[in-house]
Amino acid sequence: MEILKRDLEKLIEQLPINNKEKLKNSLKELMSVYPFNEYEYIISNLLGINKITLEDYLKIREEYLARNEYLHIFERYGSPTAFGIT
């Protein structure tokens, strides 16, 4: 998660000042509720202002999934405790 956050912060820093400030201010007030969270909000904003393309997003996603290859287990079962119980 730290790598994803760092990569997104780098992209935010490359934005024009008005877009960067608007995004940062919105993030301060953002209430994250699954599946709508800080990362989804950042990525959708970057797509919306054409800072990244769909191909860029898919690359970011693939790299994240490769670093977290067992994440799908938590998505399906919830937690290691639930996994053991289920």
- d(Cα 40, Cα 66) in Å, to the nearest integer? 18
pLDDT of residue 78: 66
Residues 22-53: tens digit of each pLDDT: 999 999 999 888 778 999 999 999 999 999 99
Query: Per the structure, how many domains does the chain have?
Result: 1
Q: Which domain holds residue 35?
A: 2-85
Residues 66-85: tens digit of each pLDDT: 998 887 777 666 655 655 66
DSSP 30-84: ---BTTB-HHHHHHHHHHHTTSS-HHHHHHHHHHHHHHTTTHHHHHHHSSHHHHH
